[in-house]
Amino acid sequence: MKKNLLLPHSFRLVGWLLFIPAVLLGLANMYAEYKPAFLGDFTDETAALGVIVGLLFVAFAREKVEDEMIRQLRLESLQWSVYINYVLLAIAVVLLYDTAFFNVMIYNMFTILLVFIGRFAWLLYKLQRREETFV
């Protein structure tokens, strides 16, 4: 079988455990200037890296059974998230300026992965539900 560049299934949980504290830290830093003493000026870097690594782990952890149909859903979700990402960015380019646009750029660093994770999870959920009604 072809090799796919995916992480072990257990990385999903590790990803969430990295992502959740990192995103809380990032939001606290962005909106309340929160900087814990042990991180100081590295607070935003730590948060951004935590969010990136966490989301990558969640997005690209293998499913328990990662077969060709799952791979296709994965690819479709990725294409979908790239479309959504740039539609949102284009809207922001037209509508927002200055600080507001800068904020959008910060969120935009993560939207591809976030939308991908959401879309892929939704497709898997639909698959599960459809199966329950059919069997």
**Of 97 and 134, which has the nearer Cβ to other proteins?**
134
Quick check: 69 binds other proteins (CB under 8 A)?
yes
**Of 79 and 129, which has the nearer Cβ to other proteins?**
129
- What angle in degrees, to the nearest 10, is found between the helix axes of 11-32 and 43-60? 150
Rounded to whole angstroms, how far apart are CA atoms 43 and 50?
10
Quick check: 72 binds other proteins (CB under 8 A)?
yes
- Taking CB under 8 A as the criterion, the residue among 31, 38, 97, 134 binding other proteins is 134
Sign of CA dihedral 106, 109, 114, 119: positive
Residues contacting other proteins: total by CB under 8 A: 15
Rounded to whole angstroms, how far apart are CA atoms 122 and 100?
30
Minimum distance from residue 77 beta carbon to other proteins (Å): 15
Quick check: 9 binds other proteins (CB under 8 A)?
no
Rounded to whole angstroms, how far apart are CA atoms 135 and 125?
16
Instruction: Dig out the tokens for 64 from the structure.
Output: 């328990």
Quick check: 131 binds other proteins (CB under 8 A)?
yes
Binding residues for other proteins, rule: CB under 8 A, are 1, 63-65, 67-70, 72, 127-128, 130-131, 134-135
